[in-house]
Amino acid sequence: MDTHQPGSTINELRDLFDRQRAAFEREPFPDLRTRRDRVGRILALTLEHESDLVAAISRDFGHRCAQETRLAELFIVITAARTALRRLPRWMHPQRVATPVNLLPGRSELRPQPLGVVGIISPWNYPYQLAMLPALGALAAGNRVLLKPSELTPTFSALLRELVARRFSEEEFAVVLGDAAVGGAFAELPWDHLFFTGSTAVGRQVALAAAANLTPVTLELGGKSPALFAPDADFALTLPRLAAGKLLNAGQTCIAPDYALVPAARREAWVAGLKAAVAALYPTIAGNPDYTAIISERHFQRLTGLMEDARRRGATVVDLRPAGEAPDPARRRFPPTLLLNVTEEMAVMREEIFGPLLPVETYESLEEAIRRVNARPRPLALYFFGERAVDRERVLQETIAGGVTVNDTLWHIVNEKLPFGGVGPSGQGCYHGEHSFRRFSHLKPVFYQSRWATGKFLWPPYGARFDRIFGWIKRLSR
């Protein structure tokens, strides 16, 4: 497959950006038919090339469970495209806004308007979903799109470039391949909006590059998402859900539970329950087609380093593999592993894990657990497991997180009616469903003045009439 493309050098990237900007100026407000056509092409691409996309992603990972790719990537994009096709007329329609009585008989509205040329930098962990969901939203909103996928998934990225080029002109939607230098130049372009998904460290660099042009940015980052088990949590119900969410994509998920908070009196029962849950999901690890590999040797060694650092500092390492099964570093199969007795100085409690390691902290009171969550940077997700409404409401009110699922993991990301995004160091801005359309639109405020407007009574020369009318307006505005 030929991986060379326009945009593979910095000069070509700038030329492609300029051509998209010129195309947008020629068509600043694509009509409904045009937008539906573009969204429909993404839907067709996804449906017709499912097996190709699954195979390319698996090749880049070394092994990626096909069912995980179909469920967590392709299905989500398909659902989003069908929703956009169905609801675009309503999304595009100007929204009437209430007008205060002192401005009547004028009227007000918000008119969604495309931003222009949108840049998207997508990551490697869910390379199709996290590239195409924002692209779909930007196209539905009437924008032109340039997409820079991760260099860590070269087979997939080259395939995506080829498939997009077959269905879209470069002035509509194009994929740019390249290394970190191309990525840096990409972030420095004067986009009308720049959308980045990735680590907090790289997100800071992207934000700095965008600031030079005052480019508005959406940052979908990560962080340490806690799984907080209340004293009355039903382990038989919730631990299989924790295991499924943590080990999806071998933990390489931005909203995967990153550490667990467990009542001290129930820790042993919790560990035993999680062992059983993992064994039911993954009876074997090394040759199991359902268990995904770590993306690269560097990331495998990083996870090994986090585990060994914790061990050296006093953590207890609990291997959740079936007894007697050897690890498989050659195929980058990192086993599900618990770390007990963790402390703050351990790297695993300071860095986002992005793998199947799960540190476990114990607490004596719910107040202590909440205090620990709040002492750390605000997470992308929080998971609460418990039955008492009073405990649930306390955690929801006293903690801050990008999103929450109660008594399960990950599912808040699936509901298109819920915005998805971070808060503070876990991100800024949100998308999904109509929230994507709004993210890539300018909601232009418009006021329509009536021929019977009363504003003339506030014109100079000022005097008794002004005081009388202004007093009346103030009373109406209470």
1 has a pLDDT exceeding 50: no
Per-residue pLDDT reduced to its tens digit, 405-426: 999 999 999 999 999 999 999 9
How many alpha carbons fall within 13 Å on the CB side of residue 72? Answer: 26
Instruction: Give me the percent of the chain exceeding a pLDDT of 70.
Output: 98
135 has a pLDDT exceeding 70: yes
The CA distance from 182 to 11, in Å, is 10
6 has a pLDDT exceeding 70: no
Mean pLDDT, residues 14-33 taken together: 97
pLDDT band at 7, cuts 50/70/90? very low
The CA distance from 352 to 256, in Å, is 10
Domain ranges of the chain: 10-221+429-442, 226-421
Mean pLDDT, residues 231-259 taken together: 98
> What integer best gives the mean pLDDT of the chain?
94
pLDDT band at 272, cuts 50/70/90? very high
pLDDT band at 118, cuts 50/70/90? very high
pLDDT band at 15, cuts 50/70/90? very high
pLDDT band at 457, cuts 50/70/90? confident
Instruction: Give me the percent of the chain exceeding a pLDDT of 90.
Output: 88
* CATH number for the segment(s) 226-421: 3.40.309.10
The CA distance from 103 to 476, in Å, is 11
Which pLDDT score, from 0 to 100, does residue 168 have?
Answer: 98
The CA distance from 377 to 222, in Å, is 10
pLDDT band at 8, cuts 50/70/90? low
The CA distance from 399 to 353, in Å, is 21
The pair of structure tokens assigned to 72 is: 């967590």
Per-residue pLDDT reduced to its tens digit, 182-220: 999 999 999 999 999 999 999 999 999 999 999 999 999
49 has a pLDDT exceeding 70: yes
Phi, psi (deg, nearest 5) at residue 96: -65, 140
- Three-state SS string over 191-252 comes to CCEEEEECCHHHHHHHHHHHHCCCCCEEEECCCCCEEEECCCCCHHHHHHHHHHHHHHHHHC
With a CB cutoff of 8 Å and minimum separation 6, the contacts of 458 are 466, 469, 470
What's the CATH superfamily of 10-221+429-442?
Answer: Aldehyde Dehydrogenase; Chain A, domain 1 (3.40.605.10)
70 has a pLDDT exceeding 60: yes
How many alpha carbons fall within 13 Å on the CB side of residue 215? Answer: 27
pTM: 0.94
pLDDT band at 324, cuts 50/70/90? low
Buried b (16+ CB within 10 A) or exposed e, 1-23: eeeebbbbbbebbeebbebbbeb
Would you say 244 and 446 are in contact if contact means Cβ atoms under 8 Å apart? Answer: no
Active site residues: 220, 254
